[in-house]
Amino acid sequence: MKRVRLVVAYDGTHYHGWQIQPGRVTIESELNEKLTMLLGEPIQVIGASRTDSGVHARGNVAVFDTEHRMPADKICLALNQRLPEDIRVQSSEEVAADWHPRKHRCIKTYEYKIMNRRIEMPTQRFYSHFCYFHLDLDQMCRAADILTGEHDFKSFCSVHTQVTDTVRTIYSLDIRRDEEDMITIRVTGNGFLYNMVRIIAGTLIAVGMGQIRPGEMEQILEARERRRAGPTAPARGLTLIEMKYVD
């Protein structure tokens, strides 16, 4: 028996998120089905990040156990021949038998994209949130600076979050605009609460529109109330970029 770690990229547009759901097609169900076919034994992957419906990934991580003799580093190549074209395993490697993707210290990076122009570009509609109103990037960056560091992010997570510890550390929160008016919010941290990145994005959009002042971020954090932050930005603009394990 060996444990294999996968780095998985996918376009989440046509999936009901990562986690298996009865009667729905998910990233996890596709991996389980195709790995079972490939290896000839029942396979159930364990994912690191349970992304929501419509969220994309370039570097999600999963593991599974197998008795098959196929070398671990060859599994990704064989598996990709069976997966739908909107899911691709970037790498596969053998890891320790007790290695678990949700129990090791990890630094996660997400990007949220906002198409900020007068008329929407249809080729980007599944990968960005369209905002007609011009966003003030300087104000958004001022607000982002306040969120950087260790804080209690209870105001920036779904009210349905069941975790008791809502303190997280954001190592960097950068915002840039390219020549085609695509704004990218890139955030790296030691972990994120449910919908935390999308709520941060929605709040920063509200700042950019002048609905929230940058200085109000401190009061929003201190309030520890979801209703004080901005709206939850749509899932399609969010991509899990990387999960970097540090031990």
Active site residues: 52
Q: Give the Cα-Cα-Cα angle 163, 229, 112 (nearest 5 degrees).
A: 85
CA-CA-CA-CA torsion sign (17, 23, 28, 33): negative
Annotation-wise, does 110 bind a ligand? yes
- Residue 37, classified by CB atoms within 10 Å of its CB into exposed (0-12), middle (13-18) or buried (19+), is exposed
Cα distances from 129 to residues 71, 90, 125, 126, 183, in angstroms, run: 41, 26, 7, 8, 10
Give the separation between CA 173 and CA 144, rounded to whole angstroms: 6
- Antiparallel, parallel or unpaired: β 87-95 and 46-47: unpaired
Which residues are annotated binding-site positions?
Answer: 110
